[in-house]
Amino acid sequence: MSVPTIAVMVPSQLVAYTAGATRVAAAGATVAEVLEDLDRQFPGLKFRVIDEQDRVRRHMRVYVGPERVADLRRGVSAGEELLIFGALSGG
Amino acid sequence: MSKAVQLLVGTRKGAWIYRSDADRAAWRVQGPIFLGHIVNHLVLDPRDGKTLMMAAKTGHLGPTIYRSTDGGETWAEAARPPAFPRAEGDRARAVDHTFWLSPGHADEPGVWWAGTSPPGLFVSRDHGDTWEGVAGFNDHPMYWNWCPEDGGTPDGALLNQVVIDPREPAHMYIATSTGGVFETLDRGATWAPLNRNVRADFFPDPYPEYGQDAHYLALSPAAPDRLWQQNHCGIYRLDRPSDVWERIGEAMPPEIGDIGFTILAHPRDADTAWVLPMDGTEVWPRTSPGGRPAVYRTRDAGRTWERQDGGLPDDGQAWFTVKRQAFGADAQHPVGLYFGATNGEVWMSADEGETWRQIARHLPEIYSVVAAPL
């Protein structure tokens, strides 16, 4: 089975990594793999979102479609979309 | 050598660089750099005179390190910023922010040290591009005693300083907000507490072996066996090889007290140091005592202190705080002193603290001020 390529929505906080792009594509069968591929394309991006214990950082949010993701092992399928948000982080 | 100075200012919302003329009279500003990023420390590498290292994060994004070799015009992100090893369970640590950066010893170009929150010691041997944890401290059998999870500041427990003996790169000190001061003689492989006679009045035993809150540690460049410490509980001096600190803050005026965040050693006179007292009474406002900011100087190793407030606000309505790494000195004759305040003002003295003038205002809350040759 081929590894799906899915659309990723990049928040404003991360466009410095993507040369301004807010929608990019990345490949992977799980959220973790998609994030790894994103990091290959845009070095450094993943660590700003996911800490060294594979936890989504406190003020970031990761969704697959409408579903909020906490466990990066969640599988993804072709046609799904990964959305990354900068959540509320105070003043 | 040029007499011009650059001030590297890190704030809660970005960094700024101020560059002086040869008289330290006129200042040009560059910035904001990384507007909106939380910059805990911005440091120049004295070994090459040009590399800038910045500890940054944002409200949303995780912590990282940026480097510039062109005076802050362009920046490169570290390929591997400080991060703890993978672990399981509730003791799986993640770096929240890098708080402190130290260039390594003069004989070790390319080496940098970093202190983080939660407390961690990290080293880079490739000019700050990749960082690794120093297991001798981070995985020390006593780590969770020295750095309990519920310790520390409102922004988290800190390994807030790394100080290197200029005579011996393997000899280092670190300061923490949860365990006090620690010393290594073998480049970080083994560590021992160095807190004798330093008070921790928030414990049943006020003089524990460790557990103190070491706000700031300064090594005297003129006499590297002399350490100055501004602690949560007073001002101290230690002359090695003794391991017993002396509370020199007892000589401060009682109405001012000896609480503060920072202490500065004179670059050439081993008996001279400056502190910036803050109100540590009752609920700990941590503001300028009486609303009247002042620097206090000792010129006799802490036996006596003199107030230096010329030019500082004197109307009793100045309530700022000066944080740990927001007080710096240049190495000119006379020494220039610089501090940044929580209200976004930068003040300088070109005469070793006698008179002060404001050189910037309206910046975000200032976290660090480093003075370096330009």
> Is residue A23, in this structure, part of any structural domain at all?
yes
**Are B219 and B237 contacting, i.e. CB atoms less than 8 angstroms apart?**
no
- Percent share of chain A, pLDDT over 70: 96
Whole-number pLDDT of residue A50: 98
Q: Could you tell me if residue A65 is inside a domain?
A: yes
Question: Residue B137's closest CA among B116, B168, B109?
Answer: B116
Q: pLDDT at position A91, please?
A: 65
CA–CA separation, A83 and A88 (whole Å): 16
User: Which amino acid, residue B300?
Assistant: D
- Across the interface, of B77, B86, B95, the residue whose CB is closest to A44 is B77
- Cis omega before residue B148 (within 30°)? no
Please say if the pLDDT value at position A40 is more than 70: yes
Residue in A with minimal Cα distance to B83: A52
A89–B59 C-beta distance less than 8 A: yes
The pTM assigned to this predicted structure is 0.96
Q: Looking at the complex, does the CB of residue A16 fall below 8 Å from at least one CB of chain B? A: no
Strand order of the sheet with strand B192-193?
B159-164, B172-176, B180-184, B192-193
**Closest chain B C-alpha to A1 CA, distance in angstroms:** 30
Residues with Cβ within 8 Å of residue B122, at least 6 apart in sequence = B82, B98, B113, B114, B115, B116, B131, B132, B133, B134
Enumerate residues 6+ apart whose C-beta is below 8 A from B168: none
Q: How far is Cα B56 from Cα B72, in angstroms, rounded to an integer?
A: 14
Q: Is residue A91 situated within a structural domain?
A: no
Cα B63 to Cα B51: distance, rounded to the nearest angstrom: 20
Q: Tokens in use for B241?
A: 């090889």
pLDDT recorded at residue B154: 81
| Other beta carbons less than 10 A from residue B336's beta carbon | 22
Give CA–CA dist B307/B253, Å, rounded: 9
Percent of chain A with pLDDT over 90: 92
Report the number of secondary-structure helices (H) and strands (E) in chain B. 2, 27
Segments in chain B below pLDDT 70: 1-2
CA distance B214 to B44: 24
Asked if residue A75 is part of any domain, the answer here is yes
Distance CA(B291)–CA(B313), nearest Å, equals 8
Count of domains for chain A: 1
pLDDT for residue A2: 82
- Sequence letter at residue B349: S
User: Quick check: is A59 in a domain?
Assistant: yes
Give the tokens for residue B123.
Answer: 């080293």
Question: What secondary structure letter does DSSP report for B45?
Answer: -
In order of B116, B180, B255, the CA distances from B210 in angstroms are 19, 6, 29
Strands A5-9 and A81-86, bridge-based pairing: parallel
| CB-neighbour burial class of residue B283 (10 A; exposed 0-12, middle 13-18, buried 19+) | exposed
d(CA B328, CA B367): 12
| Cβ contact A90–B59 (<8 Å) | yes
Give the largest Cα separation in chain A, rounded.
46
- What DSSP element (H or E) covers B112? strand B112-117
> Cβ of B62 and A47 within 8 Å?
yes
Q: Is residue A57 part of a domain?
A: yes
pLDDT of residue A88: 78
Query: Using CB atoms, which residue from A51, A55, A86 is nearest to B60?
Result: A86
State the residue range of the domain holding A74: 5-86
Indicate the burial class of B54 (C-beta count within 10 angstroms; 0-12, 13-18, 19 or more). buried
Report residue B164 as tokens: 């290197």
Test mutation, A46, A52, A56, chain B, max B CBs within 10 A: A52
Q: Which residue of A has its CA nearest to B86?
A: A53
Interface residue ranges in chain B relative to chain A, Cβ cutoff 8 Å: 58-62, 64, 77-79, 81, 83-87, 92-95
pLDDT at B31: 97
pLDDT at residue B89, as a whole number: 85
On whether any CB of chain B is under 8 Å from the CB of A84, the answer is no
Distance (Å, whole) CA A30 – CA A54: 13
Residue with token string 């002399």 = B226
Residue A28, domain CATH? 3.10.20.30
What is residue B59's predicted lDDT score, i.e. its pLDDT? 92
- Taking a C-beta distance cutoff of 8 angstroms, is the pair B303, B314 a contact? no
Q: Are A66 and B102 in contact (CB under 8 A)?
A: no
